[in-house]
Amino acid sequence: MQAIILAAGYGRRMRPLSDSCHKALLPIGSTTILARIVEGLREIDIDDITVVTGYRAEDIEAYLREHYPKTHLQFVHNPRYEETNNIVSLSMGLEQMRLEDDLVLVECDLLFERRLLGRLRRDANIALVDRYRTGMDGTVVSVSGGLVRQVFPPHVQGPDFQYADKYKTLNIYRFKRDFCMNTLAPLVKVYADQVDANSYYELVLGMLANVPEQHIVAEIVDGEQWAEVDDPNDLAVARFQFEPDQRAELLDRTLGGQWSFDVLDFSFMRNSYFPTEGMLAALRHALPSLISRYGSTQEVLNEKLGWFLGRDPGRLQTLHGGTQAFPLLRDLFRGRPVCVPTPTFGEYDHFDHCLPYEDAPGVELSDVERVAEGADVVVIVSPNNPTGTTLPTREIYSLAERHPKKTFLVDESFNAFSDEPSIEFMLEREPLENVHVLVSLSKVLGVPGLRIGYLYSHDAVFIEEIGRRLPVWNMNAIAEYLELMLKFRPELAASCEQTVQDREELADTLRCLPGVATVYSSGGDFLLVRLDAPAAAGPALRRVLLSEAAIEVKDVSHRFRGDRAHLRIAVRMPHENQRLIDALGEQLPAVADQPNSVGAGRV
């Protein structure tokens, strides 16, 4: 076979990265996108390659001649690359190359596993396609009977276009020699020269798909890794796929933003059973209206939240995520000694003067009371992150009642997954003005991307002061639209109950794994696991799970005394939990035997 690589385009969507470098020469690992394509072609014994150039043509030619001196290379230059589309490049390439065999067509912005090209060995006209997934763009096709039946370039994919039954083209094809010479090349030339030089060659393939004798086989990719790199975001996603040894660094840098990464995440905690499909359908339907409108005032947000919680809105301040409270609280508590658990969520470590009490795991309230003697503010996180330690609510209330001159900040972000009632119920019956309650609702509602939380207190001055410090339009309209949850209270309760059941089943299974020393009881939607291995095995295990299985766990070894590895593991769906168990069973013994000292992250 022979190959043609289309590499003429400027790559405008890749700017600014493509301003000084052709996008095909951008680095991926120790090599480049273009080199990976050429190596893949050589893997299937293709050593005759025509490259259509345009933007930075000299760079492309110099690179390939230097790195592949023994490959038969032909370069065809498209001087109109800035004003035409890929149909012109393909037409020029087919016209000027000497075609002596079947042809493999590849566009220059593709990354793929080398074995993927093995699917082109079949003696037929072939289009590699993959099932359409959210985030894909470009040409899609319909498939039936193993053949491409219709081709839909981007300009025909209107607002009502249905993607559910479509397949994305990889822009990798095999065409029979006779088909290229007698059908494809003449038709592409006519269209490029006389109809529309600014169109896609896929239009021509769409015309031919309806001609029985010119059918194109749809070879459906099943599990092989590939990526189309059109813009810098695509490049980041591709690096996650094709640089597995760097996945930990990529995730540490983003600390979220993982919707484009193919990673199974046990690091961040959320309710996997909520929102319901009904809520998601309502959100999808309302989305065009929501993104075109501002959210409501803080007064209205507090009122809506009060309806959901069954609380007086005057005792609430709705937050853009629980973390919005921390800079406000740091300012209000400035200069005051603050008693905090250790370990706990990292934001609590940033108060001016912290007096720690230990969660070993396990907390004795007598120890809290002793440490609190020197504090003005006492922080209690129940259930605590990352330990899962849950304190009796009645005892927390009694402690605050005994010390009315101290301010108590009670964080109940994970309380819905525990068997303890919220302290808010007690405060409703018997108010204490020295207790403020902080809740991150994102955990229980399963919407960390929307950022929802609140502060609750019977101290009117405190609530008013927090309100003065909040900006206008403090919540986006999509998050506010979760007013829908009023209609789904039973489903929310059921989702928490199911999560608790899954947590206990996951804990029991983890306890049976060789190399697991202890799985601690938890009141959250996560588990703390102590490994029978040195602390250095924690980050090493995280890295190997990412590189080998694209599974993320949270290494928290550095948060505990002693030299034992600790992981925090979020509870996900049962089939996902099983994937984690399988990966741990495979990787844990080797990592525990040969610990690797690497950096650790933030709780």
- Which pair of structure tokens corresponds to residue 208? 């031919």
In whole angstroms, give the CA distance from residue 344 to residue 358: 10
The H-or-E segment that residue 130 falls in is strand 126-131
- Give 357's contacts (C-beta < 8 A, 6+ positions apart): 339, 340, 341, 342, 363, 367, 368, 370, 371, 372
- Per-domain residue ranges for the chain? 2-238, 243-271+492-593, 296-475
CATH topology of domain 2-238: Spore Coat Polysaccharide Biosynthesis Protein SpsA; Chain A (3.90.550)
Q: In whole angstroms, give the CA distance from residue 159 to residue 504.
A: 44
Type and span of the H or E element at 455? strand 453-457
Whose CA is closest to 556, among 249, 247, 343, 246? 343
In the beta sheet, which residues pair with residue 552?
265
Q: What is the CATH number of domain 296-475?
A: 3.40.640.10
The beta strand positions in 270-421, using DSSP E, are 316-319, 337-342, 353-358, 377-381, 407-411
HSE-up of residue 450 (Cα within 13 Å, Cβ side): 24
Residue type, 147: L
Write down the architecture of domain 243-271+492-593 according to CATH.
Answer: Alpha-Beta Complex (3.90)
Closest Cα partner for 213 from 189, 182, 185? Answer: 182
546's enclosing H/E stretch is helix 537-549
| Closest among 78, 25, 36, 72 to 54, alpha carbons compared | 78
Residues 388, 361: contact at Cβ < 8 Å? Answer: yes
Q: What are phi and psi of 264, to 5 degrees?
A: -95, 110
Question: Could you tell me the mean pLDDT of each successive run of 10 residues in the chain, 603 residues long?
Answer: 92 84 89 92 92 93 93 93 86 90 92 88 89 79 86 80 87 91 88 82 77 81 85 85 88 83 92 94 92 94 95 96 95 95 93 93 93 95 97 97 97 97 96 97 92 97 97 92 90 97 98 95 97 94 94 95 94 97 93 55 39
Tell the residue number behind the tokens 């005032």, with chain if given: 297
Distance CA 598, CA 592 (A): 14
CA atoms within 13 Å, Cβ hemisphere of 32? 15
Instruction: Calculate helix-pair angle for 247-254, 537-549, nearest 10 degrees.
Output: 100
Tokens linked to 540 = 């090493």
Cis peptide before 431 (omega within 30 of 0): no
- CA dist., res. 497 & res. 6, Å (int): 55
Contact 409, 378 (CB under 8 A): yes
Question: Distance between CA atoms of 54 and 250, rounded to whole angstroms?
Answer: 33
How far apart are the C-alpha atoms of 549 and 22, rounded to whole Å? Answer: 32
- CB atoms near residue 487 (< 10 Å): 12
DSSP letter string, 471-511: PSS-S-HHHHGGGGGGGGHHHHHHHHHHHHHHHHHHHHHHH
